[in-house]
Amino acid sequence: MLVALALFTVGAGAVAGCGNEKADGRGTQPRDADPAPEPEARARQVADAWDGSEAAEVWRKGYYPMGEVAQLPENAFRNGADKRAYSARNFVLRGKLPSTAQKDGQVKWESGGSLVLPLMGAREAYETVARNSADGPHLTVTGAELGEMDLATSRGPATIPAWLFTLEGYDTPLKRVALSPSQLPEPPIGPAREVPTDELAPLDRLVEAAGDGQSVTVAATHGSCDDGPAVDVLETGGSVVLSASVVGTKDGPCASGLRVKEVQVKLDRPIGDRVLLDAFTGRPVPYGDQNGPSPSWS
């Protein structure tokens, strides 16, 4: 039996190249079930700690991406070589990136409200996208300018400053958000410890939230000798707590290794501005790109 703490320590980097499947979540668990099994009891503890807390208030005032912070040019990619280059983050810069005297940028939410944050320079934004310059297929950046892009966030759709990178061979730019996420609040509850993964395991990352907010897709880790992950959900007025576990664990010799599987979890009502939480960590579930280096915030 793998232990949840071991899965948590290995982290997203160890599983980024594994399988990528989709499955249905188990659905909402009733809050008044009695007696409550241990995983649900933990989810209730996390929800109770966050609902109405100072941390939740900080969360609702901040900017946290819930979608891809880099957006591809229209009709990308031209060919398989370009697609492989982007997956490997293999870029070549053949042009000058602009400097800007502008110090701040503004997030503007579709529902109203805004937030001013420090603006990320073109060079820094480029380096978050172009992480390699190895031999082989690559994408060529010839310039950049400051613009805007739309992005899903924890407070709903928003328009955000972005660097628009000109790619050789493409008519439209590669966009990269020019703001870093807000600092996460201190969680009001600590992580679960030494829990078998068939009871509770940490989630890897948020893959996407549906446009209507009625479901979320998360990446959950599991081992080589089981039937994969499952994700339960506990909904309250202020939070949505996801409890991942591994099902169908088998005894006996087993090849070591972790895998990742995408699990879609349907909600009773749109997520709105409720905090999406991991029952194991007691923290918000970070959004992350499977092919990228790390979640966009953690």
Q: What is the pLDDT of residues 127-140, one digit of tens each?
A: 999 988 888 899 99
For residue 207, is pLDDT > 70?
Answer: yes
Q: What is the pLDDT of residue 13?
A: 35
Please state which of the four CATH numbers 2.60.200, 3.30.70, 2.40.50, 2.40.128 is assigned to the domain occupying 70-177: 2.40.128
Nearest Cα to Cα of residue 158 among 107, 212, 119: 107
| Residue 16 identity (one-letter amino acid) | A
For residue 224, is pLDDT > 90?
Answer: no
CA separation for the pair 291, 13 (Å, rounded): 9
CA 55 to chain centroid, in Å, comes to 19
Over residues 118-122, mean pLDDT: 95
Q: What is the pLDDT of residue 38?
A: 80
Mean pLDDT of the chain: 83
Q: Give CA separation, 134 vs 22, 144, 264, in Å.
A: 32, 22, 36
Peptide bond connecting 77 to the previous residue in cis, omega within 30 degrees of 0: yes
CA separation for the pair 293, 34 (Å, rounded): 42
Residue spans of the domains in the chain: they are 4-62+185-278, 70-177
Nearest Cα to Cα of residue 282 among 55, 32, 61, 60: 55
Over residues 47-68, mean pLDDT: 94
Please indicate, yes or no, whether the overall pTM of this predicted structure exceeds 0.75.
Answer: yes
Half-sphere exposure of 189 (CA within 13 A, CB side): 24
CA 19 to chain centroid, in Å, comes to 17
- Which tokens go with 114? 């805004």
pLDDT band, very low/low/confident/very high, at 106 (cuts 50, 70, 90): very high
pLDDT band, very low/low/confident/very high, at 211 (cuts 50, 70, 90): confident
CA separation for the pair 23, 266 (Å, rounded): 11
